[in-house]
């Protein structure tokens, strides 16, 4: 039942003092299985297939929990719903996202550490983190008819 969760998710959650309940497992599994960034509503829809009584609120709470544990990324999307993806697929927060299907691909991001230090030197800011997002159309969606 838990074996199809990503490496150590179960332990991490338990160690952090959280219970591994059925609703949570449903949400976890959905995220684990998707390489595509999902809206909250989509996570809810999919997770319901595993646990029909699942409430939307629990989806929000579980996503928040996963976010705090660093297991998922939240993509600061456009107006109308944030997107979530497994963090272990994209450890550095450098993503290429398809505007049509939300497929997310990790970008090999050379030189950003260096650039960060350079920027700190120039501006006096204390940089705490970064987000690099490229967006466009993935190969599959380029073949489709929509623009």
Instruction: Decide: is 55 part of the binding site for DNA (CB under 7 A).
Output: yes
Contact present, 38 and 30 (Cβ < 8 Å): yes
Instruction: Decide: is 61 part of the binding site for DNA (CB under 7 A).
Output: yes
Q: Which of 55, 57, 125, 144 binds a second copy (CB under 8 A)?
A: 125
Q: Which of 3, 126, 145, 146 binds a second copy (CB under 8 A)?
A: 126
Q: Which of 41, 49, 119, 140 binds DNA (CB under 7 A)?
A: 41
Instruction: Decide: is 119 part of the binding site for a second copy (CB under 8 A).
Output: yes
Instruction: Decide: is 2 part of the binding site for DNA (CB under 7 A).
Output: no
Neighbour count for residue 9 (Cβ, 10 Å): 21
Backbone angles phi, psi at 75, to 5 degrees: -90, 120
What is the rounded distance in angstroms from the CA atom of residue 51 to the CA atom of residue 73? 23
Eight-class DSSP state of 103: B
Q: Which of 15, 18, 136, 142 binds DNA (CB under 7 A)?
A: 18
Backbone angles phi, psi at 104, to 5 degrees: -120, 135
**Shortest distance (Å) from residue 77 CB to a second copy:** 6
Q: Which of 2, 115, 117, 144 binds a second copy (CB under 8 A)?
A: 115
Residue 33 interacting entry, from a second copy, DNA, none, C-beta within 5 to 8 Å by type: none
Give buried/exposed letters for 52-91 (b at 16+ CB in 10 A, else e): eebeeebbeebbebbeeeebbbebebeeeeebbbbbebbe
Binding residues (CB under 8 A) for a second copy: these are 76-79, 82, 96, 98-99, 105, 107-111, 115-116, 118-119, 122-139, 142
């Amino acid at each position: 039942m838990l074996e199809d969760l990503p490496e150590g998710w179960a332990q991490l959650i338990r160690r952090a003092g959280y219970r591994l309940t059925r609703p949570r497992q449903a949400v976890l599994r959905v995220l684990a299985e998707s390489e595509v960034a999902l809206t909250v509503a989509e996570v809810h829809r999919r997770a319901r297939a595993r646990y029909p009584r699942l409430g939307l609120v629990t989806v929000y709470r579980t996503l928040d929990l996963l976010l705090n544990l660093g297991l998922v990324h939240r993509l600061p999307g456009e107006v109308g719903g944030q997107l979530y993806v497994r963090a272990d697929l994209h450890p550095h927060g450098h993503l290429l996202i398809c505007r049509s299907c939300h497929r997310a691909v990790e970008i090999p991001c050379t030189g950003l550490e260096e650039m960060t230090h350079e920027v700190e030197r120039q501006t006096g800011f204390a940089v705490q983190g970064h987000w690099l997002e490229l967006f466009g159309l993935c190969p599959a969606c380029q073949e489709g008819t929509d623009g």
